[in-house]
Chains A and B, each alone.
Chain A
Amino acid sequence: MKIAILGAGQVGSSVAESLVSEQNDITVVDLDAQRLRALQDRLDLRTVTGHAAHPSVLREAGIEDTDLLIAVTQSDETNLVACKLASRLFNVPRRIARVRAADFLDNPALLGRDGFDVDLAICPEQVLTDYLVKIVEYPEALQVLDFANGRVRLVAVRAYEGGTLVGRPIREVRRQIPSVEVRIVAVFRGERALPPEGATVIEPGDEVFCLAPAGAIREVTRELRGADRPVRRVMIAGGGNIGLRLARALERDYTVKVIEHNKRRCEVLAERVERALVLAGDATDEELLAEESVADMDLFIAVTNDDENNIMASLLAKRMGARRVVTLINRRSYVELVQGERIDIALNPAQATIGRLLAHVRRGDVVAVHSLRRGAAEALEAVVHGDRDSSAVCGRRVEEVELPPGTQIGAIVRGDRVLMAHHDTRIEPEDHVIVFVADKRNLARVERLFQVSPRYL
């Protein structure tokens, strides 16, 4: 597939990075030649220097035969205009734009066919905020992902001593929690993926991925970790875009404190939040943290735009007694450095937000894609089309589908019903199938399965 990415910022580069590994033709456009060179050194792709909304620049990027345009520059306006140009002048079939301003997003007509003609408008900050809100709601989970419009959720949980399922083989799950249909789709011990078979024993420290109906998540996590106190107090370090959105999303249900070092930004924050307490100061200031009793915090979330500050503030907060710390880290190498040691959840914003975008790039009818374990694994929701003759999946029992190793069909959503997949569950047309892919290298094969393939026609 030919893909044009406008903007080589954080989102642009991580999109490029995750797509380039899947053998697409990628062209990246940016004003900053140096940034493009750095990207080109790392990845096998083409770059064009110039303004992303100028037709001549787009033409130079080969827009005429591009299949997908991803406009993720800093500016909403540039992204929107680029989408319009791509649709009107160059007939690009699919266009994705990053749009931050709620004013634009709240206006369907503006983004529609007669407006800027955007197929998908994503706001990374909002996606990230939703992601963090879920972590607050399910403090036991490392990650909570929605499928089938939130009817099914995938949770990643670190197993702890004391959880009733810990130290037992997977097959006993049904006996332990008979009331809930739950399926363990993967177990990671360190970097190694264990086969999620009946005999596999869950040990403390394992990262366990479970699929369950949305309402049952809490019960499942409890069995793996023992009961946790619910979150009541949250401290947010950094009052930028994400900090503000997060504070506003949480302030009704939790006691929220926001620390921001820029005085003027503090005034803006204080004006826009309703109940959250805005504190002027440095998140790495031990005295300030002590004064605001960080030790009583159930959750400390560092979302400043500086990786080092986030890490330092989180480490400090953890040492001073915060129950759990979540840290936003842009540099991938840092994520691997700190996750699981003293920082409970290290979050790479690009990884967290890229899922919705990736769903559009996939072959086959893919509704949702979520990146797991820092991009090493993936979970996707695909729609089954065709019939027994034209599809490799349709009309077959789960055990009959030829899945690559490490790949699991976890659940099937049929209309409003959620079915946990058993070996004899038959897959019907228009089912949404949720597939867990432990090794990303097998992704292409999984996608091919869900295509209505000419081989079968």
Chain B
Amino acid sequence: MRVAVAVHLASVLLLGFAAAMAVPLAVSLALDDGAGGAYHLAILATAATGAVGYRASRGRAPELRPRDGFLFVVLVWTVFPVFGALPLLAAVPQLSFTDAYFEAMSGLTATGATVLSGLDALPRSINFWRCALQWLGGMGVIVLAVAVLPILGVGGRQLLKAETPGPMKETQLTPRIAETAKGLWLIYAGLTAACALAYWAAGMDALEAVMHAFTTLSLGGFSPHDASFAHWRSPAIEAVAIAFMFVAGINFFTHFAALYRASFLAYRRDAELRGYFALLAASVAAVTGYLLAHGVYADWQEALRHAAFNVVSIATTTGYASADYGAWPLFAPLWMLFISSFATCSGSTGGGIKMMRALLMLRQAQRELERLIHPHALIPVKLGGGVVENRVIFAVLAYMLIYGATIAGITLLLAATGLDILTALSAAAACVNNVGPGLAEVGPAANYAGLGDFQTWILSFAMLLGRLELLTVFVLLTPAFWRG
């Protein structure tokens, strides 16, 4: 029975998750913030569930097949938020389970949408736990890129095959995946440490530096302050954030290849990275100009500073804010939300359809146009010097279709439940792309607390869909999957 395999693995992971909760507990005890009690029960419940699941599923065929992988990741990302929400439920007064689940889902999918206000008044360990959830979620995203997404046709390293050395060439669910994942986690952890140090040097206190490093590298966007980065008003801290958000939006395989060979060549060869960088640079310049033209900021330095920070933050699907960009003339935030759907590279911790799919679609469109002029021409779609098979193009086309339908569907559903269209559309996009803040009622100055229970559940589901690249979830809804 396949379910047993998935449950078995998820149970093992759940035991680890319980252990991870000991960290905020330790923080709580060290700071004596009064939230210590919230963790006891949560750790107990999580560990007990894990143990029961482990015993119940032990001895059943331990071999994981690609198909079981889909079930496994969906199971992990739907069940873990339940346990991740337990400390929040215990420590935050008057928090409903719906909202707590949403918050934990937003954490584990590294989205950054929040239903909590008065963050500054919460116990610090609770804020630490929220940020840690995002960091753990980011680790999960990396494993997704290694193990699961390649099966969908466009994974983190599909096009990097030729670039990556030795043991990383094959893309199958083999023991090597563990090795690969370890290498990438090391880079992830190393970058997180570097980021924390940089924040600390730029003026944050140690704990906040770590928390922000957690949510920066995972491109999550949780902050222990209601005002997000506007809390500091420090150009240095914003600069650190911009730099590390940019780095986290690059394919981790590219980081790996660059580190492995100690050369920048891997970065230069990454076609996706070029598109990512060009898009961000052009968008920052355009938004700066737009803000100046509309007189939002008087001098260009301030316009550039806020445009750079907020554009990079939203485009990389992080979701920090240094200003209430929701109050900017509508084009700017709409454009930011639009590019968030495809700016980040595949194999990064970012959300959306990824730059690779966007580039492939662009090339495919170019190809069709060229074919009209040269009916006999043979025009392969190329990315980074390699030819992309038609099979991949079809997969990407199907993905785009499903993505568009998903956004439209969720928007309509939200609109049907009474939200205005801008709120509905931006909430749908912000959650499916794992950005966090939307516009209007769910904009950077507000949060998702004002939504009804039904709407909150829809958006929880939207975050799950986006994080697992849609198909992983939808494949479970097909009867053929269960028929075996």
Contacts and interface: CB of A to CB of B under 8 A. Distances in A.
Do A and B assemble together?
Answer: yes
28 contacts: A266-B378, A269-B378, A270-B378, A270-B379, A270-B380, A270-B387, A271-B380, A271-B382, A271-B387, A277-B374, A277-B377, A277-B379, A278-B377, A278-B378, A278-B379, A279-B374, A279-B376, A279-B378, A280-B376, A280-B377, A280-B378, A281-B376, A288-B376, A291-B374, A291-B375, A291-B376, A292-B374, A292-B376
Interface in B129-143: none
Interface string B366-402: 0000000011111110100001000000000000000
B371 to A, nearest CB: 11
Contact of A279 (B377, B380, B382, B387): B377
Interface of B is mostly: loop
Interface string B114-144: 0000000000000000000000000000000
A277 B375 CA distance: 11
Nearest to B385: A274
Interface in A261-292: 266-267, 269-271, 277-281, 288, 291-292
Given A278-B379, A280-B377, 18 more contacts: A267-B380, A269-B378, A270-B378, A270-B380, A277-B374, A277-B377, A277-B379, A278-B377, A278-B378, A279-B374, A279-B378, A280-B376, A280-B378, A281-B376, A291-B374, A291-B375, A291-B376, A292-B376
A280 B375 CA distance: 9
Nearest to A279: B376
Contacts of B376: 279-281, 288, 291-292
Interface residues of B, number: 9
Interface of B: 374-380, 382, 387
Nearest to A266: B378
Nearest to A288: B376
A164 B363 CA distance: 50
Nearest to A263: B378
Contacts, number: 31
A280 B377 CA distance: 6
A230 to B, nearest CB: 24
B19 to A, nearest CB: 50
Contacts of A279: 374, 376-378
Interface of A: 266-267, 269-271, 277-281, 288, 291-292
Nearest to A267: B378
A433 to B, nearest CB: 47
Contacts of A281: 376
Max count, chain A CB within 10 A of own CB: residue among B374, B375, B378, B382: B378
A271 B381 CA distance: 9
Nearest to A278: B378
Contacts of A266: 378
A282 to B, nearest CB: 10
A270 B388 CA distance: 12
Contacts of B377: 277-280
A410 to B, nearest CB: 45
Contacts of A277: 374, 377, 379
Nearest to B386: A271
Contacts of B374: 277, 279, 291-292
Nearest to A277: B377
Contacts of A280: 376-378
A304 to B, nearest CB: 16
A270 B374 CA distance: 14
A278 B375 CA distance: 11
Determine which residue in A269, A277, A280, A291 has the highest number of CB atoms from chain B within 10 A of its CB, and name it. A277
Going nearest first, the 9 A-B pairs with the smallest beta carbon separation are A270-B378, A266-B378, A278-B378, A279-B376, A270-B380, A271-B387, A281-B376, A279-B377, A277-B377
A165 B34 CA distance: 100
B380 to A, nearest CB: 5
A266 B379 CA distance: 10
Contacts of A270: 378-380, 387
A294 to B, nearest CB: 13
Contacts of B379: 270, 277-278
Nearest to A272: B387
B288 to A, nearest CB: 34
Residue from B375, B376, B380 whose CB has the most chain A CB atoms within 10 Å = B376
A244 to B, nearest CB: 13
A266 B380 CA distance: 10
A278 B382 CA distance: 14
B161 to A, nearest CB: 15
A279 B370 CA distance: 12
Contacts of B375: 291
A277 B371 CA distance: 11
A269 B377 CA distance: 11
A267 B382 CA distance: 12
Nearest to B375: A291
Contacts of B380: 267, 270-271
A274 B443 CA distance: 45
A270 B376 CA distance: 12
Contacts of B382: 271
A277 B379 CA distance: 7
Contacts of A288: 376
A284 to B, nearest CB: 14
A271 B389 CA distance: 11
Nearest to A292: B374
A267 B376 CA distance: 13
A439 B387 CA distance: 53
A66 B378 CA distance: 50
A278 B50 CA distance: 59
A269 B380 CA distance: 10
A269 B379 CA distance: 10
